[in-house]
Structure 1
Amino acid sequence: MGEAATASQEAEQDDQRRLAAAAEASQEAEQDDEQGRLAAALDAINSLISASFSASLFPLKWQLIRDRFNRLHAGLADITVDIAGEAHEDDDDDEAFSSLLRGVAESVREARDELVPRSQGRHYGGGKLRLRSDLDVMASTLDAYVSRLDEVCASGALTRARALVVPRPRAGTGAGRDDVRFYVRDLFARLRVGGAEMQRDAAAALNELLRDDEIKPVVRVVVSDSVVVADGIGVLIGLLESPDARVQEEALDAVSVILGFNDAYKGDFVLGGVIAPAIRVLDAGGAGAPAKERAARLLGKLTENSDNAWAVAAHGGVTALVNACSDHRTSACELVCAACRVLRSLVAVDEIRKYAVGEARAVPVLVSLLQQGAAAADEAAQIQAMELLAAIATAGDGSSREAVVQEGALESLVRVLDPGVQRSSKAREAALRAIDALCLSNSTDAVFLRRVLFFLRNGDVALQHRALKTAHRLCQASEEGKKAMGDAGFMPELVGIVQAAKSLETREMAAEALCALVSVHRNRRRFVQDDRNVAQILQLLALGPDEEKTSPAKRFLLSTLMHVTDSSSGRRKIMSSEHVRNLEKLAETNVSDAKKIVKKLGGSKLRNIFHGIWSL
């Protein structure tokens, strides 16, 4: 009996093994069949998306349908079916996924065989209203499929695949436009449906591709493809709302790079709604400095030449930008610089400038920024603040300029010019430009004049030229200002610049400023007292081999001599100079101003007497 029982047990175990093997084979066949249906669904979706571009009626609705199919494709392509796993014993989940695949396949067939032909304009199949209704129904059906796919995945019946990664096309490997387009669309699909980690990786890969100089020409062509643009704009704008800071940063970078490809994309992104989320990133308390900086740079690209200024202002952008500058103690220098550049574009619009100066209180924020230390890390932000103050001061009816002066901006700008404080030439140039923009009529401040004169003598080429422009503007101001400049010692320095400068523009500017100063009686008396001044001007009247006898600089020098001849001592200095012959030569060639000066010197008889003396 024992042997019989043992044989019975062995037979029973053999039956169990055969049943288990059969069940396992059935499960494998079922899983293979499920994977086959999944692959067929993916191929059908691809085919339908390609065919849908031939639909000419209701293009926006077809774009929505393509977007839904793309989301389904991305979600299904990222799935591995795992029916045999112990954790997935619920037949209802398996049936839900199978039902989902059948539904997707049916929708693909309906769209490809019925809706696309009806949308090609040949026949409406019930009319346009019926076609539009059918397209709306299709879009709603696909939305339901997307939701069901998320529910099935959440149930555990399916697992997300991690193995399929499309390799990035590279120059030198024969990668063509189709390869790049496929790769870009795959990245957008991952950005659309992926989790935070997948989105970070896909956004970083997209930026890497966009910045690849070797393959950039192909990327530009692909990005300009209407399909890619329409697909990608909404995806990238949506990522600006991501709670993940890295995703936000990568998305902001990608939008900025694409905008750099072609200005025409500005309108596409603005219509897509990029401005509002970019401002929210900039104004969000929890956003990091890198994301805020990228948001400000993006707004800078969108508002170049004051484009889209009203759209930024309407979404609270002015206040957000001023707040970024007001937090300069904690904000990164790059963020403050980017915010100031955007504000410079915005204040070109009168109403926005008035709001920035009045309600947003931008001027005291900028003045406070100037009063910080002169550390190299802060100086770039201070330069941008000075240029923004100059832009505010030069625009409008003068009320903005008065607001800038009343807030103490001038005093802060003059402190930047202090030679005893370590500052770069660029910072001092920016300060002089901002002071020039204030167009002060009262230029008698001795400290300011001394500092302008210092850089006129000691600055590098760029700073010296900037100081000369400031001196030139000051010479066109009040009589008191001209007297103060004469007392400060500007006239000999201007003569030296006319003599030494190689640039025609520089010589002309210095000569004009000198003429303006000498027109004042007190300055003229001081000028004549130094014999070298008159002699140098006469020497500068000499004609070079290729020089025009009536160049602008020479005309101003002759006008200066005309002022000098108003006094007897000035006339004596001219006649006693060894270079007076240069003046005579100009008079002999019928230069009218030279002839007038010679006439004031005493006429031809006196000239002949001196000529006889000089010839001995």
Structure 2
Amino acid sequence: MHPTALPPSSQQPPSPLQTLDHIVQLLSHLLPLSLSVKSFTGRWQILRTKLASLKSSISEISGSPHWSENPLLPTLFPNLLSTLQRIQSLCEQCTDPSYNVGKLLMQSDLDMATGWLSKQIQDIDLLLRSGVLRQSNAIVLSQPGPGSSKEDLGFFIRDLFTRLQIGGVEFKKKAMESLLQLLEEDEKAVTFVAKEGNVGYLIHLLELNAHPLLREQAVTAVSVLAAANDQSRKCVFEEGGLGPLLRIIESGSMGLKEQAVMAVESITTDPDNAWAISAYGGVSILIEVCRSGSLAAQSHAVGAIKNVATVEDIRIALGEEGAVPVLVQLLVSGTAAAREKAANCIAILASSGEYFRALILQEKGLQRLLQLLHDSSSSSNSDTLEHVLRAILALSTSDSTARILSASTPFIIQIAELIKHGNILLQQISASLLANLSISDGNKRAIAGCIGSLLKLMELSKPDGFQEMAAQALVSLLTVRSNRKDLVRDEKCVSRLVQMLDPKNDLVSKKFPVSVIYSIMAGGSQGCRKRLVAAGAYPHLQKLAEMEITGAKKALQRLSGNRLKSIFSRTLEGITSKVTNPPAN
């Protein structure tokens, strides 16, 4: 018995309920009919299995209280009905002994029908799993407010992704617009999207065959997810987002490139993801964006390169692909953000070995860094200053670079100012530079104003090695006599130094203030000695010498040298007086 025919197309379109009834009738007719097919039995066995699965899903739909309110079914059911009618026609042909059509054509028709049916079953199963058929359509359409429950938010997200995957283009566009609005307006929703939504489908929409508008919106959504938090970023990466994003950067429009490279920068902030850049050929793609992309794209591309430069294998690729000249150029031509990231990347590369230091110097990287240091000092950009100083510090291990820096009075004055007024990181790097350079006495006199700051920095126990750098820089400046006198004339400096010598003060390693005392007394100044002794340095040094602190005995000898000589002179004068003026009998 054949199912009842639908009304002609000229009449009112059938309702979803009418279409559903016809689908149920067709399935009830097709399942037993297909058992009588004797040709192409393997293919019909696959079709019967799918028809049985579809019947179960249709039964579940009809049992859902709000299925008729869902706007997706009016588009799903007609297509499904058309497929079933095609299968019915093929079934009748295969059971008709008089039907004589080419075998290959029938095989092709059966395979096509199986493919259509599989896709429609997949859509229906997705709709059922989402749970949207179990709630009223009015709830589905309303976007949850900021105070909504997790259940409402999760349900809304599942509904959005159901529409994205099943609906026509208009449904997909509206669903994507709602998704972007949700991501922009509600930060907590991002985590729910990563958890409840199908991020893999968003990644699928990045492919070239996707609808252009949907592709553009998908890039924006993926970019937001990648930048939001660790969980959503991990989700984008694990769903395979990096490869499609890099392809968009390589061949997409300018707007898409900027969104995609922003997402790649975010993804590569996780070291566990950075290695994958080379697997997709991403190094050369990012370098090209730095070379010729828009200013916004350049900034994100150099940020991604900075992120992956920590991976040794990728560093090698960066050198081979010509990243260094591009990075050095960005120190001059890039936006403020791009210059900061380029300086950071150059600092990483310069710290990794002589190969990169030579490349950077060859491209006049030192001169560009010094110029950026000057410009950043004027704008008080502490992050850029930090990266520039780290890069210069790494380059200063080269003898030629150290000579250039040591002879540059403007540079020496700049780092002295940073020692006095910079944040703790800038002070640390500047003190390290000052300690490692061989500067002239004239320049040492020119920066005498930072002596008090260096002494103060010696009191800081963190970060590790800071006290040593500050002490080395200070000792270097104290080779100039006028600097030694300036220090001991400052009562606060002398008091601070003596407090650091106190054995009870366990915040400072004693060898550092001891080395400063030794340097102050290098010239044997009687005035320096008097001030230090008067401030209480002598007994502390005596105790430190007894404790066998490195350098304490030598510093004590220098501090007490003239004092012993004075005592010896007074004793000698007394003896002479007794000899020349014997007492009367």
* TM-score bucket (shorter structure): 0.5 to 0.7
Alignment match, 1:90: none
The answer as to whether partners of 2:183 and 2:221 remain within 8 angstroms in 1 is yes
The answer as to 2:73 corresponding to 1:77 is yes
**Equivalent in the alignment of 1:299:** 264
Match of 1:186 among 159, 179, 183: 159
How far apart in 2 are the matches of 1:421 and 1:577? 37
- Tell me the distance in 2 between the aligned counterparts of 1:213 and 1:474: 49
Aligned mates of 1:210, 1:171 — CA distance in 2: 12
Distance 1:312 1:587 in 2: 58
Alpha carbons 1:303, 1:346 under 8 Å: kept: yes
Q: 2: distance between equivalents of 1:239 and 1:41?
A: 38
Deviation readout 1:165-190 (Å, 9 max, x if unpaired): 8413424886662x444433332233
Of 204, 208, 218, 1:241 maps to 208
1:562 aligns with 2:518: yes
Matching residue of 1:599 = 557
Determine which of 117, 141, 158 is the counterpart of 1:167.
141
> Residues 200-237 of structure 1, C-alpha deviation per residue, up to 9 Å, x if partnerless?
43222112224443863xx7457424xx44xx413443
1:451 aligns with 2:411: yes
Q: Identify which of 233, 244, 250 aligns with 1:277.
A: 244
Q: 1:100 to 1:430 in 2, by over 3 A?
A: same
Alignment of 1:253-292 (within 5 A): 253-259=220-226, 263=230, 269-270=236-237, 272-284=239-251, 286-289=252-255, 291-292=256-257
User: Normalising to structure 1: TM-score of the pair?
Assistant: 0.64
Match of 2:388 in 1: 431
Residue type of the alignment partner of 1:352: I
Equivalent pair of 2:420/2:427 in contact (CA under 8 Å):
no
Quick one: distance in 2 between partners of 1:507 and 1:351? 30
Q: CA contact under 8 A between 2:416 and 2:430: conserved in structure 1?
A: no
Distance in 1 separating the partners of 2:310 and 2:458: 36
Alignment-mate amino acid for residue 16 of structure 2: Q
**One of 281, 286, 295 as aligned partner of 1:332:** 295
C-alpha offsets along residues 471-495 of structure 1, whole Å, 9 cap, x if unaligned? 323423xxxx324377343762342
Whether the aligned pair in 2 keeps the contact of 1:171 and 1:215 (CA below 8 Å) is no
Report the AA paired with residue 318 of structure 2: A
8 A contact 2:143–2:156 mirrored in 1? yes
Deviation of 1:348 after TM superposition, in Å, equals: 1.9
Q: Conserved in 2, the CA contact under 8 Å of 1:389 and 1:434?
A: yes
Alignment of 1:190-209 (within 5 A): 190-193=163-166, 198-209=171-182
Q: Describe the shift of the 1:294–1:470 C-alpha distance in structure 2 as closer, same or farther (beyond 3 A).
A: same
For the pair 1:407 / 2:367, whether they are aligned, the reply is no
State the superposition RMSD in angstroms: 4.9
Could you say if the C-alpha distance between residues 332 and 43 of structure 1 is closer, same or farther in structure 2, counting changes exceeding 3 Å?
A: farther
- Within 2, Cα distance between the matches of 1:546 and 1:599? 18
Q: How far, CA to CA, are the matches of 1:172 and 1:463 in structure 2?
A: 39
Q: Is the 8 A contact 2:488 2:528 kept in 1?
A: yes
Partner Cα distance (2:303, 2:280) in 1: 18
Work out whether residues 528 and 534 of structure 1, in 8 Å CA contact, stay in contact via their aligned partners in 2: no
Kept in 2: contact 1:455–1:463 (CA 8 A): no
Is 2:536 aligned against 1:540? no
Relative to structure 1, is the Cα distance of residues 606 and 138 closer, same or farther in structure 2, using a 3 angstrom cutoff? farther
Secondary structure, in 3 states, of the residue corresponding to 1:352?
helix
Cα separation, partners in 2 of 1:340 and 1:181, compared to 1, 3 Å: same
Equivalent residue for 1:143?
Answer: 115
d(CA) in 2 for partners of 1:541, 1:148: 82
- CA drift of 1:531 comes to 2.1
Matched, 1:36 2:17: yes
Q: State whether residues 541 and 554 of structure 1, in contact with CA within 8 Å, keep that contact through their aligned partners in structure 2.
A: no
Residue 299 of structure 1 deviates from its aligned partner by: 1.8
- Letter of the 1:576 partner, please give it: K
1:269-418 equivalences in 2 (<5 Å): 269-270=236-237, 272-284=239-251, 286-289=252-255, 291-327=256-292, 331-333=294-296, 335-358=297-320, 360-372=321-333, 378-395=335-352, 397-418=353-374
Structure 1 distance, partners of 2:227, 2:453, is: 43
Structure 1 pair 29/483, CA: closer, same or farther in 2 (3 Å)? closer
Contact 1:575/1:601, CA 8 A, preserved across alignment: yes
What's the offset of the Cα at 1:607?
8.9
Q: Which moved more, 1:459-468 or 1:550-559?
A: 459-468
Q: Secondary structure at the match of 1:493?
A: helix
Query: Following the alignment from structure 2 to structure 1, what is the Cα–Cα distance between the partners of residues 302 and 148?
Result: 45
Of 194, 217, 224 in structure 1, the residue corresponding to residue 195 of structure 2 is: 224
CA distance 1:222–1:324, change in 2 (3 Å): closer
Question: What's the secondary structure of 1:482's corresponding residue?
Answer: coil
TM-aligned CA distance change 1:485 to 1:556, over 3 Å: farther
Shift of 1:309: 3.3
Q: For the residues of structure 1 that align with 2:428 and 2:146, how far apart are their CA atoms?
A: 54
Unaligned runs of 5+ in 2: 1-5, 26-48, 62-66, 89-108, 122-136, 571-585
- After TM superposition, the structure 1 = structure 2 runs for residues 117-132 of structure 1, keeping only pairs within 5 Å, are none
Gaps of 5+ in 1: 1-24, 45-60, 82-93, 106-136, 150-163
Quote the offset at 1:323 in angstroms.
Answer: 0.9
Instruction: Measure, in 2, the Cα distance between the counterparts of 1:245 and 1:28.
Output: 33
SS in 2 for 1:348: coil
Counterpart secondary structure, 1:404: helix
Cα deviation, 1:54-86, whole Å, max 9, x if unaligned, reads xxxxxxx99xx99xx99x9999625399xxxxx
Tell me the secondary structure at the aligned position of residue 170 of structure 1. Answer: coil
Q: Is the 8 A contact 2:498 2:536 kept in 1?
A: yes
Q: Does structure 2 retain, via aligned residues, the 8 Å contact 1:453–1:467?
A: no
Whether the 8 Å contact between 2:202 and 2:218 is mirrored in structure 1 is: no
Structure 2 SS opposite 1:416: helix
Give the letter aligned to residue 402 of structure 1. Answer: A
1:116 equivalent in structure 2: none
Structure 1: distance between partners of 2:428 and 2:441: 13
**1:427-576 equivalent positions in 2, closer than 5 A:** 427-442=384-399, 443-445=402-404, 448-457=408-417, 461-462=421-422, 466=426, 468-476=428-436, 481-484=437-440, 487-489=443-445, 492-498=448-454, 504-505=460-461, 512-513=468-469, 515-516=471-472, 525-527=479-481, 531-536=485-490, 538-543=494-499, 548-549=504-505, 551-552=507-508, 555-565=511-521, 567=522, 569-576=523-530
Would you say how many aligned residue pairs link Structure 1 and Structure 2?
Answer: 483
Question: What amino acid is aligned across from residue 142 of structure 2 in structure 1?
Answer: R
Alignment TM-score, normalising by the size of structure 2: 0.67
CA distance in 2, matches of 1:173, 1:43: 42
Deviation by residue 1:422-469 (Cα, 9 ceiling, x = unmatched): 544333333212212324343232564522423532788436851552
Deviations 1:385-440 (A, max 9, x none): 11111122222x42122212211111110112336995443333332122123243
1:281-331 CA distance string (max 9 Å, x none): 1111x5123x22221222233323432334321222111111111125xx0
Partner letter of residue 144 of structure 2?
R
In the alignment, the residues of structure 1 paired with residue 295 and residue 21 of structure 2 have an alpha-carbon distance, to the nearest angstrom, of 52
- Corresponding position of 1:582: 536
1:528-571 Cα deviation digits (max 9, x unpaired): 57522344454333339999435437542321222344x4x325
Aligned to 2:580: none
Match of 1:100 in 2: 83
